[in-house]
Chain A
């Protein structure tokens, strides 16, 4: 039986064609307009078929069937809205809710809880439950990143399957049986791996909550936008959550992209919102004495520094690039210098000395902690530049240059040797450092110019596999911030 064969079926009268061997759930998902309620089914995990929520009616089949484990057949007519289907959905929800604590007012999942959402979509009944609820352990510290409330858990087993199938750590189990069944780790063991936050994501309820988000912000205040994680060369697609009013970023979550990251992202990537917020940001240009400069003064000073080196017989100018910026930025800074100098600057690609560039954890996380290694290579090639790639800045001949223009790393954590490298720069006659951190690391350089971060700019990253991905720009945390091209335009 060939997987290429496609099968035609109808769902609520709408025609859809899917590959043979697909399930009704997959067909419904492809159709996109209809939702079959579900808890245990997750597109990135095996089928468990235990929540029994996704009941549909199939013409000619006496009993309702679950959409997640029923294979499509040619000409199948699926009904997701018949009265008995709706009744089954309502009751399935009631069964899920009878032992749920309904502590939504103190639950961080509130607002993005599938129990809540489905109650509004398919529930809206008066509960028949009048008996005592089963009590289970609460607020368990199960790892550095997660808190587990087993009473809120609806035993969908997504987390168990994630640990079995994705991380292959099998840290979670469901213990006991019947309505005493309870999710958990082996006593006193913790979930310690680089994918733990995914457990909070896939938990349809508030059983697993992320420690770094607990009690921080109600989700309905958050605005969601799409972006690319800058944490490594995989380039996971992400959703970035920002408070609509304060512009403060609170978290990153994976955005499904089968070509790149599937449904997941790593914990290291999750932390890539921390450097975005205003408290850590360099917000105005700084001079060598660390005094704030206006944008126009800074542009003028930059112009002077570059012009002073213009002309063929003048001193060496180094352009130091880190693979943490967009193709467009690389191109813009190079072209600007070339036109202002009347010759090409000497280009250095600054990489972290201690990186294990080729390491890969087999899931998503790569040793190349730069989002745009390939993009930088491609851009330099297009520009016809042969750059000097250096592992750290020591002993690479920078000291011979009269002026260095540096596009420093956006994610400083990816450069643990930053301090050593900056010491090299400090010894140079003149350095213009483009960076986004308020930190003192680059203090004392001739000129420091704030840059935008990945969520604030448009542009291209090329991931490890050569896939071009486009960044979209959110509002800047400070409206006064300027992009690199805006800055260069004024210089």
Chain B
């Protein structure tokens, strides 16, 4: 299931396996299966060869790895922001996967939670964290179990704990469980939650790399980001850069959802054509329906029309240029028979439910857009309402502590701007 179907850029599908190399194995989640696939070799090499932490940071910088949670921030750069001399630092793995359309991180742990554990220990070593947490969303009952088990196995095998492999490096890891709040996927909201508080993003500056969990330097990285680190350590930055584009190197996990024949999680080189992805990997739409729109990067990414999809490639820069974003890599397909008015209603309901309520423009704006979209969908709207949606959304964007307000505003604006005719037919 998870690979592209045919040759791409002169390479065979198998060549694009970085992350998902554990399929078809019996008990792939276990540490033995992982070790049989070079598991913990990278960590062992790092610790036995006493690699300099700064060299590892440089390696990840050179690889061009960008945060896979949605923002696409260069990972090595993030690690580099952590003060070297701070006595207490933390690594926090963002496994709060909740962006509608996204289910890649759970897929990684379903296949091999040890990839994550190894990636975390190496990353922690690189910037000097003695403690890390995997923050999982509360609904991930199975995933919590898989992760806990992998951590236990890693402790038993000596890859976690005091003086790992005799290197002098000590690292402890634990899991922490959220309880139903999308916003906890925002890194500082996650830190607040880990501190036992409401999941509300923290005012920046200071940034978490300087003052995060309990005011200590903290790096928050997505599961997918951390899971690919061992591969980069084993194969080098150049090898990683052989995939993807200049500014978006590597492969990425993309999730396809909505009414397509073959929905799922695929490992795809960045820069891959979106249309080909939907048609070949996804097998096209169910019942031979025509494509109306695509949300390319999870519910917070502005929508693309079917025409726009024609020339889109799945990488950070192309989607940004098209006014949308790569986000978490969740491609959501909207067929011709679904009204965009109802899509707006659905999305705005989500954002209204999930706003943390801290910043006024977001708290009030998401509530307001939620009510308006609902009334438009119920046929009580008028032409001025559509203008109001755009006006409200434009004033919510860029005005708040975190990007949630933008995440609500972007889809709202894109829908009313790109599909005005659909609203007209619904006016009461």
Contacts and interface: CB of A to CB of B under 8 A. Distances in A.
Contacts of B198: 174, 177
Interface residues of B, number: 31
Contacts, number: 86
Interface in A61-77: 63-64, 69, 71
Contact of A64 (B203, B357, B364, B399): B399
A91 B360 CA distance: 10
A128 B371 contact: no
Nearest to B358: A50
A246 B352 CA distance: 51
B361 A92 contact: yes
Nearest to B387: A128
Interface string A34-78: 000001000000011111110100000001100001010000000
A130 to B, nearest CB: 8
Interface in B352-367: 352-361, 363-367
Interface string B372-394: 10010000000000001001100
B313 interface: no
Interface string A70-88: 0100000000000000011
Interface string A268-309: 000000000000000000000000000000000000000000
Given A48-B203, A132-B371, A63 B398 contact: yes
Interface string A172-193: 0010111111000000000000
Contact of B355 (A47, A96, A130, A178): A178
B27 interface: no
Q: Give the most central of B198, B364, B366, B375: most A CB within 10 Å.
A: B364
B375 A176 contact: no
Contacts of B375: 131
Contacts of A418: none
Contacts of B365: 95
A26 B314 CA distance: 45
Given A95-B365, A155-B360, A178-B357, 9 more contacts: A48-B203, A50-B401, A52-B361, A92-B360, A98-B364, A128-B388, A155-B363, A177-B357, A178-B352
A99 interface: yes
B58 interface: no
Given A47-B203, A98-B364, A177-B181, A52 B372 contact: no
A154 interface: yes
B188 to A, nearest CB: 12
A181 B357 contact: yes
Contacts of A135: none
B360 A176 contact: no
Nearest to B385: A130
B399 A96 contact: no
A53 B395 CA distance: 12
A131 B78 CA distance: 43
B368 interface: yes
A51 B363 CA distance: 10
B360 A52 contact: yes
